[in-house]
């Protein structure tokens, strides 16, 4: 099986120092091409036939450049290299002159291959180093026995040693490169998650990091599983040679995904409904499990921070006593709805005679009454309407998608409902509500909308309390409205 690597498209440029594997490959190519150029003149000068030697050296050079360009060394390319080298030795005047080309080719090709492929390549070149001198012996008119013996001996031992050296060098470089890529992936994931507060973005960033890990880890499979009352539901997968069966949406064991793999499942208490399954032929390498764990730890930390951020935002926009929106929350909700389309009505509500409850029964009784007012307001409007406590005994209601007449009916219902609330042992302290109602139009700004609601509320209170007043243009000139606010 071909050991495919990332294509080195800019093969003529020296890779940066932090790309150790690419840099060693580039140096290896430079060495083997230099060897070809050094050996070519004496090989060509005394070859018979000379044109064939030129063609063979050109084919070897092209093979090396193509391998560098594509980043892959198929078996056919190894066979072609060995065949060309065999013929080079056969038609050389002195086979030892061409040995350097074969030696450099062997260890350079090892940088692109796994252990199994390196063994196959060693066998091919052992054949070339054996068959080449034998053929040379048969085609030469007066062959030299010493050259023949030296060629066979040197070819065998050098091929074996260079194959082992190249294999170990490639394994060492690949391990270092893999470690470096894992460290970069962890660092980049942490940077992307830094300051993230959106839960979906956090989950997507974590999954993209796991996809990257699978992309440069041969054989790694990753599956995201959602835990439900029915068991494990398959959500996403990456790295599988073949996609899981279309009907496989729920599993009892992760081995059902690929029975030929060893599996590791990563789960966290902070995200109890999601688990990540890592699969690999045989077993999952410990460093891969460690990398995935580091990525998921960052996701969990970001998820925890997002929940804390959401809680702080909620606290900043919520009245702690009543649980309603506070002034800031109400203002932001009004601004969002005002920027859209459709009908919008705002009520400012001021409780009548609430001060008597506070002065005579104490603040605890006053707080209890405010909580009951909040509950009644919530019960008299729709779930998607906004109810807020602006401060003290002032409340507000934001109605979306109803006309002015319907908003007026709701305001009257609120006046009637709040008039039934009392405090004190015998219920001797009753309250009421004065409501200012304003219906928005397309041209009104947020500050002016709130001023109009405030002016209408003060007009209702001035006319006897316990009533609702809709804002009208004649209530006050614009400048006076701003002054009274």
Tokens of 110: 């090892």
Beta bridge partners of 338: none
Q: What share of the chain is helix, strand, coil (3-state, %, to 5)?
A: 60, 15, 25
Rounded Cα distance between 465 and 204, Å, is: 55
Tokens of 370: 């405010």
Beta bridge partners of 106: none
Which of 422, 426, 431 shows the shortest CA–CA distance to 355? 431
Tokens of 6: 């990332």
CA 304 to chain centre: 17
- Whether 393 sits among the annotated catalytic residues: the reply is yes
Rounded Cα distance between 194 and 330, Å, is: 30
Angle at 123 between CA 117 and CA 129, to 5 degrees: 135
Burial of 45 (0-12, 13-18, 19+ CB in 10 A): exposed
Out of 258, 350, 393, 454, pick the active-site residue: 393
| Packing angle of the helix pair 75-91, 99-110 (nearest 10 deg) | 170
Ramachandran region, residue 68 (left: φ > 0; alpha: ψ -120 to 50; beta: rest) = alpha
Residue 351 dihedral angles phi and psi, to the nearest 5°: -75, 135
Per-position b or e across 361-392, b if 16+ CB within 10 A of its CB: beeeebeebbebbbebbbebbeeebbbbbbee
Residues in CB range of 349: below 8 A, 6 or more apart: 377, 394, 395, 396, 397, 414, 418, 433, 434, 435, 457
3-class secondary-structure state, position 36: helix
Burial of 233 (0-12, 13-18, 19+ CB in 10 A): middle
Which of 415, 421, 418, 478 shows the shortest CA–CA distance to 451? 478
Rounded Cα distance between 172 and 170, Å, is: 5
Active-site residue numbers? Answer: 393
């Amino acid at each position: 099986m071909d050991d495919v690597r990332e294509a080195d498209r800019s093969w003529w440029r020296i890779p940066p120092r932090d790309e150790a594997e690419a840099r060693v490959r580039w140096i290896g190519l430079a060495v083997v091409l230099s060897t070809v150029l050094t050996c070519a003149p004496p090989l060509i000068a005394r070859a018979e036939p000379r044109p064939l030697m030129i063609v063979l050296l050109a084919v070897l050079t092209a093979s090396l450049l193509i391998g560098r360009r594509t980043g892959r060394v198929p078996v056919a390319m190894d066979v072609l290299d060995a065949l060309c080298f065999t013929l080079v030795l056969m038609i050389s005047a002195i086979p030892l002159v061409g040995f350097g080309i074969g030696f450099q080719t062997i260890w350079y090709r090892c940088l692109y291959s796994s252990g199994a492929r390196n063994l196959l390549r060693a066998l091919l070149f052992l054949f070339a180093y054996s068959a080449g001198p034998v053929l040379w012996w048969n085609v030469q008119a007066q062959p030299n026995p010493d050259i023949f013996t030296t060629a066979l001996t040197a070819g065998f031992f050098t091929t074996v040693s260079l194959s082992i050296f190249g294999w170990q060098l490639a394994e060492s470089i690949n391990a270092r490169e893999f470690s470096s890529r894992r460290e970069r992936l962890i660092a980049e994931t942490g940077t992307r998650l830094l300051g993230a507060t959106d839960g979906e973005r956090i989950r997507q960033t974590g999954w993209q990091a796991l996809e990257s890990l699978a992309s440069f880890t041969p054989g790694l499979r990753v599956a995201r599983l959602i835990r439900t009352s029915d068991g494990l539901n398959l959500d996403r997968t990456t790295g599988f040679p073949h996609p899981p069966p279309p009907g496989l949406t729920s599993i009892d064991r992760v081995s059902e995904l690929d029975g030929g793999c060893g599996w590791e499942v990563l789960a966290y208490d902070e995200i109890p409904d999601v688990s990540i399954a890592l699969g690999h032929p045989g077993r999952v390498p410990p460093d891969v499990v460690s990398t995935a764990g580091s990525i998921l730890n960052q996701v969990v930390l970001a998820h925890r921070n997002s929940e804390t951020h959401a809680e702080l935002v909620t606290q900043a926009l919520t009245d702690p006593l009543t649980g309603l929106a506070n002034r800031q929350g109400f203002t932001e909700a009004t601004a969002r709805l005002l920027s859209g389309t459709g009908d919008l009505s705002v009520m400012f509500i001021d409780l009548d005679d609430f001060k008597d409850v506070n002065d005579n029964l104490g603040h605890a009784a006053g707080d209890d009454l405010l909580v009951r007012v909040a509950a009644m307001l919530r019960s008299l409007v729709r779930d998607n309407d906004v109810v807020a406590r602006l401060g003290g005994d002032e409340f507000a209601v934001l109605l979306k998608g109803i006309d002015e007449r319907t908003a007026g009916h709701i305001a009257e219902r609120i006046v009637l409902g709040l008039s039934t609330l009392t405090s004190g042992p015998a219920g001797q302290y009753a309250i009421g509500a004065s409501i200012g109602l304003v219906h928005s139009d397309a041209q009104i700004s947020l500050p002016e909308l709130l001023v109009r609601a405030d002016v209408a509320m003060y007009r209702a209170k001035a006319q006897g309390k316990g009533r609702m007043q809709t804002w009208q243009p004649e209530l006050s000139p614009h400048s006076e409205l701003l002054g009274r606010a």
